[in-house]
Structure 1
Amino acid sequence: MEPMYERLVEKLKTTSTIRWFPGHGAEESWIEEAEQELGFRLPPSYRWWATHYGDGWLNGGHILSIGDPEHREYTDSDLLYIHRLNKAEDWWVSRFPDRLDVFIPDSDEQFFFDTSVRDEQGEFTVMCYDLINNEIFPCASSFAEFLERLIDEYV
Protein backbone atom coordinates (compact mmCIF):
# COMPACT_ATOMS: atom_id res chain seq x y z
CA MET A 1 0.00 0.00 0.00
CA GLU A 2 1.24 3.47 -0.78
CA PRO A 3 1.89 5.32 2.50
CA MET A 4 0.16 8.53 1.39
CA TYR A 5 -3.16 6.68 1.06
CA GLU A 6 -3.03 4.59 4.27
CA ARG A 7 -5.58 6.74 6.13
CA LEU A 8 -7.96 6.64 3.15
CA VAL A 9 -7.59 2.85 2.80
CA GLU A 10 -8.41 2.41 6.49
CA LYS A 11 -11.49 4.61 6.13
CA LEU A 12 -12.61 2.67 3.06
CA LYS A 13 -12.25 -0.62 4.97
CA THR A 14 -14.58 0.52 7.73
CA THR A 15 -17.21 2.57 5.91
CA SER A 16 -20.38 1.61 4.17
CA THR A 17 -20.72 5.18 2.89
CA ILE A 18 -18.86 4.58 -0.36
CA ARG A 19 -19.60 1.31 -2.11
CA TRP A 20 -17.24 -0.09 -4.69
CA PHE A 21 -16.87 -3.31 -6.57
CA PRO A 22 -13.65 -5.21 -5.78
CA GLY A 23 -11.73 -6.36 -8.82
CA HIS A 24 -13.17 -3.68 -11.11
CA GLY A 25 -10.21 -1.31 -11.13
CA ALA A 26 -9.04 0.27 -14.35
CA GLU A 27 -6.15 -1.13 -16.31
CA GLU A 28 -3.20 1.20 -16.90
CA SER A 29 -3.82 1.13 -20.66
CA TRP A 30 -7.39 2.37 -20.15
CA ILE A 31 -6.14 5.27 -18.04
CA GLU A 32 -3.46 6.13 -20.59
CA GLU A 33 -6.02 6.08 -23.41
CA ALA A 34 -8.30 8.42 -21.45
CA GLU A 35 -5.40 10.75 -20.69
CA GLN A 36 -4.43 10.84 -24.34
CA GLU A 37 -7.93 11.93 -25.34
CA LEU A 38 -8.15 14.44 -22.48
CA GLY A 39 -4.76 15.88 -23.35
CA PHE A 40 -3.38 15.75 -19.80
CA ARG A 41 -2.37 13.29 -17.10
CA LEU A 42 -4.96 12.53 -14.44
CA PRO A 43 -4.02 13.37 -10.82
CA PRO A 44 -2.01 10.70 -8.93
CA SER A 45 -4.67 10.11 -6.26
CA TYR A 46 -7.39 9.68 -8.89
CA ARG A 47 -5.18 7.24 -10.85
CA TRP A 48 -4.61 5.32 -7.60
CA TRP A 49 -8.36 5.17 -6.90
CA ALA A 50 -9.14 4.13 -10.48
CA THR A 51 -6.65 1.25 -10.48
CA HIS A 52 -7.34 -0.03 -6.96
CA TYR A 53 -11.07 0.62 -6.54
CA GLY A 54 -12.50 1.67 -9.89
CA ASP A 55 -16.16 2.54 -9.81
CA GLY A 56 -17.68 3.85 -6.59
CA TRP A 57 -21.23 4.60 -5.53
CA LEU A 58 -22.32 7.19 -2.97
CA ASN A 59 -25.50 9.12 -2.24
CA GLY A 60 -27.29 7.91 -5.35
CA GLY A 61 -24.45 8.76 -7.71
CA HIS A 62 -21.30 7.41 -9.24
CA ILE A 63 -17.79 8.38 -8.37
CA LEU A 64 -16.73 8.35 -11.99
CA SER A 65 -14.29 5.70 -13.13
CA ILE A 66 -12.16 4.83 -16.11
CA GLY A 67 -13.92 1.96 -17.81
CA ASP A 68 -13.01 -0.56 -20.42
CA PRO A 69 -12.80 1.39 -23.71
CA GLU A 70 -14.83 -1.35 -25.41
CA HIS A 71 -17.85 -0.49 -23.22
CA ARG A 72 -17.23 3.21 -22.61
CA GLU A 73 -20.04 4.42 -24.87
CA TYR A 74 -22.61 2.62 -22.71
CA THR A 75 -21.30 3.33 -19.24
CA ASP A 76 -22.67 6.41 -17.53
CA SER A 77 -20.14 5.99 -14.72
CA ASP A 78 -17.16 6.48 -17.06
CA LEU A 79 -15.25 9.73 -16.62
CA LEU A 80 -14.38 10.04 -20.30
CA TYR A 81 -17.91 9.22 -21.48
CA ILE A 82 -19.37 11.97 -19.24
CA HIS A 83 -16.64 14.37 -20.39
CA ARG A 84 -17.56 13.71 -24.03
CA LEU A 85 -21.22 14.41 -23.31
CA ASN A 86 -20.31 17.65 -21.54
CA LYS A 87 -18.05 18.80 -24.37
CA ALA A 88 -20.88 18.28 -26.86
CA GLU A 89 -22.83 21.04 -25.09
CA ASP A 90 -21.70 24.48 -26.32
CA TRP A 91 -22.86 26.24 -23.14
CA TRP A 92 -20.87 23.78 -21.06
CA VAL A 93 -17.59 24.40 -22.86
CA SER A 94 -17.96 28.17 -22.71
CA ARG A 95 -18.93 28.21 -19.02
CA PHE A 96 -16.69 25.41 -17.69
CA PRO A 97 -13.69 25.05 -20.03
CA ASP A 98 -11.43 23.48 -17.36
CA ARG A 99 -14.00 21.20 -15.74
CA LEU A 100 -13.71 17.42 -15.56
CA ASP A 101 -16.54 15.82 -13.58
CA VAL A 102 -15.58 13.22 -10.97
CA PHE A 103 -18.76 12.77 -8.90
CA ILE A 104 -22.36 13.53 -9.78
CA PRO A 105 -24.55 12.56 -6.82
CA ASP A 106 -28.30 12.52 -6.79
CA SER A 107 -28.40 15.91 -5.08
CA ASP A 108 -28.04 19.61 -5.71
CA GLU A 109 -24.24 19.50 -6.04
CA GLN A 110 -21.75 18.26 -8.60
CA PHE A 111 -18.03 17.76 -8.11
CA PHE A 112 -15.29 18.21 -10.65
CA PHE A 113 -11.58 18.71 -11.16
CA ASP A 114 -10.38 22.21 -11.99
CA THR A 115 -7.87 21.18 -14.64
CA SER A 116 -6.49 24.70 -15.10
CA VAL A 117 -3.92 24.40 -12.28
CA ARG A 118 -1.99 21.52 -10.71
CA ASP A 119 -0.21 21.52 -7.37
CA GLU A 120 3.37 20.29 -6.93
CA GLN A 121 2.16 16.67 -6.55
CA GLY A 122 0.22 16.85 -9.82
CA GLU A 123 -3.18 17.05 -8.14
CA PHE A 124 -6.13 19.12 -9.34
CA THR A 125 -8.42 20.86 -6.86
CA VAL A 126 -11.83 19.21 -6.58
CA MET A 127 -14.49 21.88 -6.94
CA CYS A 128 -18.14 21.84 -5.87
CA TYR A 129 -20.84 23.27 -8.08
CA ASP A 130 -23.83 24.21 -5.91
CA LEU A 131 -26.71 24.03 -8.38
CA ILE A 132 -29.24 25.77 -6.15
CA ASN A 133 -27.13 28.85 -5.49
CA ASN A 134 -25.25 28.66 -8.80
CA GLU A 135 -21.93 28.89 -6.95
CA ILE A 136 -18.62 27.13 -7.51
CA PHE A 137 -16.10 26.75 -4.71
CA PRO A 138 -13.10 24.56 -3.77
CA CYS A 139 -13.99 21.37 -1.93
CA ALA A 140 -10.66 19.51 -1.58
CA SER A 141 -7.06 19.95 -2.67
CA SER A 142 -6.82 16.39 -4.04
CA PHE A 143 -9.04 13.51 -5.03
CA ALA A 144 -7.86 11.48 -2.00
CA GLU A 145 -8.81 14.34 0.33
CA PHE A 146 -12.15 14.59 -1.47
CA LEU A 147 -12.90 10.89 -0.84
CA GLU A 148 -11.99 11.24 2.83
CA ARG A 149 -14.33 14.22 3.15
CA LEU A 150 -17.16 12.27 1.48
CA ILE A 151 -16.67 9.39 3.91
CA ASP A 152 -16.59 11.75 6.91
CA GLU A 153 -19.58 13.79 5.69
CA TYR A 154 -21.90 10.88 4.92
CA VAL A 155 -21.13 8.72 7.97
Structure 2
Amino acid sequence: MYTSLIEKLKHTEAIRWFPNHQVQESWIIEVEQELGFALPPSYRWWLLNYGQAMLSGTEILTVAPPEDREYADTDILYIYRLADEQAKQEGKLELFIPDEDEYYYFDTRTADDRGEYKVMRLDYFNGEPEVYADSFAEFLEKLIDQRTPRNP
Protein backbone atom coordinates (compact mmCIF):
# COMPACT_ATOMS: atom_id res chain seq x y z
CA MET A 1 0.00 0.00 0.00
CA TYR A 2 2.81 2.43 0.84
CA THR A 3 5.42 0.75 -1.38
CA SER A 4 6.66 3.96 -2.98
CA LEU A 5 7.11 5.67 0.39
CA ILE A 6 8.86 2.64 1.90
CA GLU A 7 11.35 2.64 -1.01
CA LYS A 8 12.01 6.35 -0.64
CA LEU A 9 12.57 5.95 3.10
CA LYS A 10 15.16 3.24 2.44
CA HIS A 11 17.22 5.49 0.18
CA THR A 12 16.74 9.07 1.33
CA GLU A 13 19.04 11.22 3.36
CA ALA A 14 16.45 14.02 3.59
CA ILE A 15 14.59 12.25 6.38
CA ARG A 16 16.15 10.41 9.29
CA TRP A 17 13.93 7.92 11.05
CA PHE A 18 14.84 6.08 14.18
CA PRO A 19 14.52 2.28 14.24
CA ASN A 20 12.69 0.77 17.20
CA HIS A 21 10.82 3.98 18.04
CA GLN A 22 7.45 2.79 16.84
CA VAL A 23 4.34 3.90 18.66
CA GLN A 24 2.06 1.47 20.46
CA GLU A 25 -1.52 1.09 19.24
CA SER A 26 -2.83 1.82 22.76
CA TRP A 27 -1.07 5.21 22.74
CA ILE A 28 -2.75 6.12 19.43
CA ILE A 29 -6.16 5.09 20.80
CA GLU A 30 -5.64 7.31 23.88
CA VAL A 31 -4.70 10.28 21.67
CA GLU A 32 -7.70 9.73 19.40
CA GLN A 33 -10.03 9.54 22.39
CA GLU A 34 -8.85 12.89 23.71
CA LEU A 35 -8.87 14.51 20.26
CA GLY A 36 -12.38 13.22 19.58
CA PHE A 37 -11.49 12.06 16.07
CA ALA A 38 -9.37 9.38 14.40
CA LEU A 39 -5.88 10.00 13.12
CA PRO A 40 -5.61 9.37 9.36
CA PRO A 41 -4.70 5.82 8.25
CA SER A 42 -1.36 6.68 6.60
CA TYR A 43 -0.24 8.61 9.71
CA ARG A 44 -1.30 5.70 11.95
CA TRP A 45 0.67 3.34 9.65
CA TRP A 46 3.69 5.64 9.94
CA LEU A 47 3.45 5.74 13.74
CA LEU A 48 3.10 1.97 14.05
CA ASN A 49 5.94 1.18 11.63
CA TYR A 50 8.39 4.07 12.04
CA GLY A 51 7.22 6.36 14.82
CA GLN A 52 9.80 9.12 14.88
CA ALA A 53 11.69 11.02 12.23
CA MET A 54 13.57 14.22 11.60
CA LEU A 55 13.33 16.11 8.37
CA SER A 56 16.04 18.71 7.80
CA GLY A 57 16.79 18.74 11.53
CA THR A 58 13.18 19.15 12.73
CA GLU A 59 11.07 16.34 14.13
CA ILE A 60 7.80 15.40 12.52
CA LEU A 61 5.25 15.32 15.33
CA THR A 62 4.58 11.85 16.71
CA VAL A 63 2.74 10.21 19.60
CA ALA A 64 4.88 10.09 22.73
CA PRO A 65 4.51 7.49 25.48
CA PRO A 66 1.69 8.56 27.84
CA GLU A 67 4.11 9.15 30.73
CA ASP A 68 6.06 11.67 28.59
CA ARG A 69 3.13 13.40 26.90
CA GLU A 70 2.85 16.28 29.39
CA TYR A 71 6.17 17.75 28.30
CA ALA A 72 7.07 16.14 24.97
CA ASP A 73 7.16 18.97 22.45
CA THR A 74 7.24 16.42 19.62
CA ASP A 75 3.92 14.88 20.70
CA ILE A 76 1.00 15.74 18.41
CA LEU A 77 -1.49 15.77 21.31
CA TYR A 78 0.73 17.99 23.49
CA ILE A 79 0.97 20.54 20.65
CA TYR A 80 -2.78 20.28 20.04
CA ARG A 81 -3.47 21.01 23.71
CA LEU A 82 -1.45 24.23 23.35
CA ALA A 83 -3.37 25.37 20.26
CA ASP A 84 -5.90 28.14 20.61
CA GLU A 85 -9.62 27.47 20.30
CA GLN A 86 -9.87 29.12 16.90
CA ALA A 87 -7.25 26.76 15.43
CA LYS A 88 -9.16 23.79 16.86
CA GLN A 89 -12.44 25.06 15.42
CA GLU A 90 -10.71 25.43 12.05
CA GLY A 91 -9.75 21.74 12.21
CA LYS A 92 -6.01 22.33 12.52
CA LEU A 93 -3.90 19.49 13.89
CA GLU A 94 -0.27 20.58 13.60
CA LEU A 95 2.07 18.04 12.09
CA PHE A 96 5.41 19.56 11.16
CA ILE A 97 6.81 22.92 12.24
CA PRO A 98 10.22 23.44 10.62
CA ASP A 99 12.44 26.36 11.55
CA GLU A 100 11.45 28.05 8.33
CA ASP A 101 8.71 30.39 7.13
CA GLU A 102 5.98 27.76 7.06
CA TYR A 103 4.27 25.00 8.94
CA TYR A 104 2.14 21.99 8.05
CA TYR A 105 -1.04 20.68 9.61
CA PHE A 106 -3.83 18.20 9.06
CA ASP A 107 -7.15 19.80 8.14
CA THR A 108 -9.40 17.45 10.11
CA ARG A 109 -12.48 18.82 8.33
CA THR A 110 -11.36 17.24 5.03
CA ALA A 111 -11.57 13.47 5.65
CA ASP A 112 -11.90 11.54 2.41
CA ASP A 113 -13.54 8.12 2.01
CA ARG A 114 -10.41 6.43 3.41
CA GLY A 115 -10.27 8.73 6.45
CA GLU A 116 -7.24 10.66 5.17
CA TYR A 117 -7.00 14.38 5.91
CA LYS A 118 -5.44 16.90 3.58
CA VAL A 119 -2.08 18.21 4.77
CA MET A 120 -2.06 21.97 4.55
CA ARG A 121 0.94 24.26 4.27
CA LEU A 122 0.72 27.70 5.84
CA ASP A 123 3.17 30.33 4.65
CA TYR A 124 3.88 32.82 7.45
CA PHE A 125 4.49 35.65 4.96
CA ASN A 126 1.25 35.59 3.02
CA GLY A 127 -0.81 33.83 5.69
CA GLU A 128 -2.67 31.79 3.11
CA PRO A 129 -3.04 28.04 3.67
CA GLU A 130 -2.73 25.79 0.65
CA VAL A 131 -3.27 22.08 0.14
CA TYR A 132 0.18 20.51 0.19
CA ALA A 133 -0.82 16.83 0.04
CA ASP A 134 -3.94 14.67 0.08
CA SER A 135 -2.54 12.35 2.79
CA PHE A 136 0.28 11.99 5.28
CA ALA A 137 2.01 9.44 3.02
CA GLU A 138 1.90 11.88 0.09
CA PHE A 139 3.16 14.65 2.40
CA LEU A 140 6.25 12.59 3.34
CA GLU A 141 6.94 11.57 -0.26
CA LYS A 142 6.66 15.15 -1.47
CA LEU A 143 8.98 16.50 1.24
CA ILE A 144 11.52 13.74 0.53
CA ASP A 145 11.39 14.54 -3.19
CA GLN A 146 11.76 18.28 -2.59
CA ARG A 147 14.68 17.89 -0.22
CA THR A 148 16.63 15.23 -2.09
CA PRO A 149 19.41 16.63 -4.28
CA ARG A 150 19.02 15.76 -7.93
CA ASN A 151 21.91 14.14 -9.74
CA PRO A 152 22.92 16.11 -12.87
TM-score range, shorter chain: over 0.9
1:31 corresponds to? 28
The structure where strand makes up a greater share of residues is 1
1:7 corresponds to? 4
Secondary structure of 2:69 counterpart: helix
- The amino acid that maps onto 2:132 is C
Specify whether residues 49 and 100 from structure 1 end up closer, same or farther in structure 2 by C-alpha distance, changes over 3 A only. same
1:108 corresponds to? 101
1:144 corresponds to? 137
Give the drift of 1:65. Answer: 0.3
Over the residues paired in the alignment, what is the CA RMSD in angstroms?
Answer: 1.0
1:16 corresponds to? 13
More off after superposition, 96-105 vs 19-28: 96-105
Counterparts of residues 1-155 of structure 1 (less than 5 Å): 4-86=1-83, 89=84, 93-95=85-87, 97=89, 98-155=91-148
- Cα distance in structure 1, aligned partners of 2:26 and 2:56: 30
- Cα distance in structure 2, aligned partners of 1:26 and 1:48: 10
Specify whether residues 96 and 134 from structure 1 end up closer, same or farther in structure 2 by C-alpha distance, changes over 3 A only. farther
- Gaps of at least 5 residues in structure 1 are none
- Cα distance in structure 2, aligned partners of 1:15 and 1:117: 30
- Using the size of structure 1 for normalisation, the TM-score is 0.92
Give the drift of 1:132. Answer: 1.2
- Cα distance in structure 2, aligned partners of 1:101 and 1:139: 13
Q: Percent identity?
A: 54
Give the drift of 1:24. Answer: 0.5
Report Cα offsets for 1:19-38 as digits up to 9, x if no partner: 11110011000000000000
- Cα distance in structure 1, aligned partners of 2:63 and 2:87: 25
- Cα distance in structure 2, aligned partners of 1:99 and 1:15: 29
